[in-house]
Amino acid sequence: MLIRRNLPPFQEQWALPGGFVRIDESIDTAARRELQEETGLQDVFLEQLYTFGAIDRDPRERVVTVAYYALVNLREHALEATTDASEAAWFSISHLPSLAFDHAQIVDIAIARLKGKVRYEPIGFELLPQKFTLSQLQTLYETVLGVRLDKRNFRKKLLKMNLLVELDETQTDVAHRAARLYQFDAAKYHQLREKGFNFEI
Amino acid sequence: MLIRRNLPPFQEQWALPGGFVRIDESIDTAARRELQEETGLQDVFLEQLYTFGAIDRDPRERVVTVAYYALVNLREHALEATTDASEAAWFSISHLPSLAFDHAQIVDIAIARLKGKVRYEPIGFELLPQKFTLSQLQTLYETVLGVRLDKRNFRKKLLKMNLLVELDETQTDVAHRAARLYQFDAAKYHQLREKGFNFEI
DNA sequence: TCAAAAGTGTTTTCTGTACACCCATGC
DNA sequence: GCATGGGTGTACAGAAAACACTTTTGA
């Protein structure tokens, strides 16, 4: 999700949303506030990514950026028009425009983090609606990891973890056999974690 | 490695070494400089850990800390007396004194990072001398991960990776059969990585 | 009736784990 | 000669990987 800058430097260029930390808020709070102010996104997975501190990364003055990344599913969190930024839009990470400042580097590091983390923590579900099909989940992993997965083996593995609740519902509005819907059981995950269980794809 | 503070607040208490980033240096550079100034340590593995930004973490004023962690082997990097800190000393992480500021939390996060990272990146070698025995390596993993490992399986696994160079040397000054020494082959590791190899313990 | 994706088991291969004894060395 | 850690192989079990066809549905 990028915003188009309406002020120099890098005017008219796309950039990551962001802003300054206030003296009376933590940086976690600031990240959440900025995200909300610039995109309308709320109640999403948000985690500190990395802190960027090269001396010339902003041409105006010395700026240190503590970058955060959020995971969002587009169906349940629509973008709202906001006042801060002139324009906000979603991009495919395989078709990014050129970015302001060192934001391309920040995106690279975020993708690397996601790729690493998605394999051993159940954060992939943040990118899907609450109810999803196993094929959607598989496609998600195939996209993030950049590999093709075997359908039968994938289902076997995921279902054996006992983290998915099989619902009595199916997809609607598809032009083929409707797939069963599942839900991720976060409570069960935390419970299993206590006992030494490790999520792994 | 902790230093004893000689100024308030938390005077006389143990704390992580640290200091302020200068306007003309990157935060990476600042971390390296502070480490060198306060402990004499140079040319060690140093990586950004996490940025701490709670509003009241320093009683004097608002301070944001970008924490770094270093991995050091004590045999090859002796501590030097320095002027900045009144005293510097190594502690076992299982016997830490109470720490100034939120440094106990920082240490906890560093240990968690090490525990996670040591399993899928070959950073454990940073904690050993260049030449080491397989038993030393095993003990290191057992200590960091907090588990006991099977000697035969551990050796089998490590040697099969082809990342260790078997030297024509053995330990000296031990009161039992001297163990063969090995070296980690970083070049080979990077070469294998290119081909999709993943280090994993 | 066709297209499109859902759903389902078995076999083979590989990897992880469990396990015990002899060897070399210094004291 | 004894204490101490060094060094070695095999068998079993469980996990991962390979693989193809039938079913359901809407258009």
Nearest CB partner across the interface for A53, out of B50, B54, B66: B66
Residues of chain B with CATH 3.90.79.10: 2-117
As annotated, the active-site residues of B are 87
Residues of chain B with CATH 1.10.10.10: 124-194
Distance A160 CA to D16 C1' (A): 14
Range 49-68 of A in CB contact (< 8 A) with B? 50-51, 53-55, 62, 64, 66
Intervals of chain A under pLDDT 70: 81-86
Contact between A156 and A138 (Cβ < 8 Å): no
What angle do the packed helices A134-145 and A151-160 form, to 10 degrees?
110
Measured in whole angstroms, the distance separating CA B26 from the mean position of its chain's CA atoms is 21
CA-only gyration radius of chain A, Å: 19
Residue A79 is predicted with a pLDDT of 73
Residue B79 is predicted with a pLDDT of 73
Residue A77 is predicted with a pLDDT of 84
What angle do the packed helices B103-117 and B134-145 form, to 10 degrees?
130
- % of chain B at pLDDT higher than 90: 89
Q: Give yes or no for residue B80 having a pLDDT over 90.
A: no
Q: Is the CB of A198 under 7 A from strand C?
A: no
Spatial distance between the Cα atoms of A163 and A183, rounded to a whole number of angstroms: 8
Q: Which CATH class is domain B2-117?
A: alpha beta
Q: Give yes or no for residue B84 having a pLDDT over 80.
A: no
What topology is assigned to B124-194 in CATH?
A: Arc Repressor Mutant, subunit A (1.10.10)
pLDDT in tens, B15-35: 999 999 999 999 999 999 999
Nearest CB partner across the interface for A27, out of B25, B28, B51: B51
Residue B86 is predicted with a pLDDT of 66
Q: Mean pLDDT over all residues of chain B?
A: 94
- Shortest CA to C1' contact from B175: nucleotide: C26
Residues of chain A with CATH 3.90.79.10: 2-104
Residue A83 is predicted with a pLDDT of 53
| Residue A126 designated active-site | no
- CB contact under 8 Å between B55 and A24, yes or no, is yes
Which residues are within 7 Å of strand D by their Cβ atom?
A 150-153, 157, 174-178, 200; B 133-135, 151-153, 155-156, 170, 175-180
Binning pLDDT at 50, 70 and 90, where does residue B75 land? confident
Out of 3.40.50.720, 3.90.79.10, 3.30.365.10, 3.90.1640.10, the CATH code matching A2-104 is 3.90.79.10
